[in-house]
Copies of this chain bind each other. A is one copy, B any other.
Amino acid sequence: MRGAVIHAPGDVRFEERDDPKIIEPTDAVIRTVATCVCGSDLWPYRGIEAVDEPHPMGHEYVGIVEEVGAEVTSVTPGQFVVGSFATSDNTCPNCRAGYQSSCLRREFMTTCQAEYVRIPQAQGTLVATPDRPAGEFVPSLLAVSDVMGTGWYAAVAAEVRPGSTAVVVGDGAVGLCGVIAARELGAERIIAVSRHEPRQKLALEFGATDIVTERGEEGVARVKELTGGIGADSVLECVGTQEAMRQALRSTRPGGNVGFVGVPHDVRIDGEELFFSHVGLRGGPAPVRRFLPNLIDRVLTGRINPGRVFDLTLPLEQVAEGYRAMDERRAIKALLTP
C-alpha cells in the first residue's frame, strides 16, 4: 500500500510502505476513507521538531474495518469507524476516569496518512457509526477524530457553562472547533481571537459573537474591555506557544478556567502569576474517546458540522501539497482521500 513519509523538514513523500497487519489480538486494520494533515504535523514539517529519520505521518482517520484480531468484538469488518489519535483500552483506571489519552496502554497514532492503518487496542479505540454514513458526513466525522474532539476537550477543561463567556485563542482548526464546542456547551458570548478574515468568518458562522484581532497584552486588554474589566469565565488555548498561554491566562477572570490543548512548545508558567490570578488550568492531549459517541451523534443529527474546517480536499497521493498549503496558510486544514 501507499502512504506519506516525511524524510526531512519540508520533504513529505507519498510512497510504497508495508501493508499493515494484525500483530496483536487487540489490533484492527482499517481501510482509510479519509485522513488529513494536522497543525501539529507542521512542527516537524517546519523543522521545529527534529526529523531524525524518515517516518510515516498522520494520526487522524476514519475508515472501514478490514480485519480484526481475535480479542476485538466491538467492531466488525465492514463497519465504518471513527477513532482517536491516541489508542486506549477504555478499561484501565485512567480510561475509566475519562482520560483515555492517558490510557496505560496508550499509543499515539503516527501512520494514518495512508491507504490502510493498523489500530492497536481497537476494542477500546474505535467507535462504529450506526450505519455506513453518507459521504457528506465524512469530513465532520474525520474532524471528530481529532480537531473537534480536541476543541471539545478544550471547552470542557475550561469548564464552559451555559450563560458563560468564553474566549478562544487560536484560529486553526482546533480553535474553530473550540468555538463550536463553546456554543454547544451553552456559552452566551464567544470571543474568537483571529487576524485572518476567512477564519474570522468561519468562527462567526460557528457561533462566535465577537472577534478580537489583537494579540498579547493588547488582546488581553480587549477581552477585559468586552468583559466588564474582569476577564472571561473560560479561555480555550489552542496554539501552544508562550505568548498564547500568557494571553489565555491573563484573559481569564479570577476563578475562571483555561483549557489548553495546543501542544506546548517551550512554554513556562510562572507559579506566582498563576497563583495570584486564581485561574484554574487543565490541558493535555484530548481524551477524544470520551466524547466520540456524543460527537458522532451531534454530527449525524446535523447539529454540528466541524468538517467545514477542511477548506482543501486532495487525493491522498497529493499529501505533500496538503502540507504545503497549510504551511503557507493557504488552507486551514487539508482533507485527503485515498
Asked if A230 is at the interface of the complex by the 8 Å CB criterion, the answer is: yes
Q: Which of A109-117, A169-177, A252-260, A327-335 contacts B (4 or more CB under 8 A)?
A: A252-260
Q: Mark A241-279, 1 if CB is under 8 A from B, else 0.
A: 010010000000111000010011111111110111111
| Residue with the greatest number of chain B CB neighbours at <10 A, chosen from A94, A277, A282 | A282
Q: Given A94-B253, A102-B255, A255-B102, answer yes or no on A267-B272 (Cβ-Cβ < 8 Å).
A: yes
Nearest CB on B from A150, distance (A): 12
Q: Given A277-B284, A282-B279, A284-B278, answer yes or no on A263-B272 (Cβ-Cβ < 8 Å).
A: yes
Q: CB-CB < 8 A to A285: which residues of B?
A: 275-276
Q: Given A93-B228, A228-B93, A254-B97, answer yes or no on A274-B269 (Cβ-Cβ < 8 Å).
A: yes
Question: A255's contact among B98, B270, B272, by CB below 8 Å, is which?
Answer: B98
28 pairs, A vs B, C-beta closer than 8 Å: A94-B230, A94-B253, A97-B253, A97-B254, A99-B254, A101-B278, A242-B271, A245-B271, A260-B271, A263-B275, A264-B274, A264-B275, A265-B272, A266-B271, A267-B270, A267-B272, A268-B268, A269-B270, A269-B271, A274-B281, A275-B284, A276-B284, A278-B282, A278-B284, A278-B287, A279-B282, A280-B280, A281-B281
